[in-house]
Structure 1
């Protein structure tokens, strides 16, 4: 009795595994399949971003624009927010803390920040 050569065994195993994977992939509904290649991922990303409608019911909670579609939020024309210092605390004058997100903001009187208010928190 002769044993199959290792190369032949590896090749046959590779063909078998490829056939099993293709059969299992074919059993998955098309809308549930995960993209595997960069081209599939790119096509899926373009499809999903093209379906993103502009906000019609409410303004964007991040940039407060009615025409925001999420691709350029926050807008590049918006002024950059002031840098938050690591030493901001309850004792620092001119700083306030949001009750919902616990973020510190300069010249904030306290309560709920505008981002949390826009998100309905």
Structure 2
């Protein structure tokens, strides 16, 4: 069970879909961990984007443990672990946490799909 509301996750998914659908958003590869700094370079051209700004604001307003939940949810959704390994995914997200969580998440072109799959595996319905 995650403490981040499904409404917040749904909003993040909608913003990610819109952001990634825009022309000119090119992210060369997916980061391996939240500490990969290439995401900052890839996203530097988009810092004035309204969708990116709202996405970043929502993530930054979450507590660090909630940010870690969103990262772990993405990892779960993309198959980096199973629901039975949820505690381990959370632990790993905590170990790799830094203040650039929004950049790390939005740098994944399939973020919305990963979050949706993660929610489905957690038993949430909707969006």
Q: Please say whether Structure 1 and Structure 2 have the same fold, judged by a TM-score greater than 0.5.
A: no
- Shorter-chain TM-score bucket reads under 0.3
TM-score after normalising by structure 1: 0.20
Of structures 1 and 2, the one with the larger relative CO (CA 8 A, separation 6+) is: 2
Higher strand share: 1
